[in-house]
Amino acid sequence: MPYFADRVKDTTTTTGTGTITLAGSAPTGYRTFASGFGSASQSVTYCIVLGTEWEVGKGTFNGTTSLTRDTVRSSSNAGALVNFSAGTKDVFCTATAEQIDNTNFGSVLAIASGWAMP
């Protein structure tokens, strides 16, 4: 089961389809993957974006600056690994659509926040 952490965002200049090397420097208002997930290896869900190139999946963060792209859930490459081109990409922690049951989303939110459903 992947771990989640709020406001985790970093960048990478890694190209290709392999392991991502994170810069280890979060934009203002965000935390790095290391500060969000700690120094142990963790399974995380991620999104990587560069213009029209994007990928959402489950990966393994190694506790420092490495993110292995284990399973792609969706992408701009028909659901396959994206061969990222040169440039600075945003990399952030997110829940995938598969992890959210959209049919019961309102009920889940109501229960989590203590609201009563009609």
pLDDT in tens, 58-98: 999 999 999 999 999 999 999 999 999 999 999 999 887 77
**pTM of the prediction?**
0.83
Tokens 């029209």: give the residue. Answer: 52
**Does residue 108 have a pLDDT over 70?**
no
What pLDDT does 81 receive?
98
Residue from 20, 8, 13 nearest 88 by CA: 13
Render pLDDT for 27-66 as a digit per residue (tens, 0 to 9).
999 999 999 999 999 999 999 999 999 999 999 999 999 9
The residue extents of the domains of the chain are: 9-113
What pLDDT does 96 receive?
78
Distance CA 102, CA 15 (A): 33
- Give burial (CB, 10 Å; 0-12/13-18/19+) of 36: buried
In terms of residues, how long is the chain?
118
Which two three-digit tokens encode residue 78? 């028909």
**Does residue 109 have a pLDDT over 70?**
no
**Does residue 8 have a pLDDT over 90?**
yes
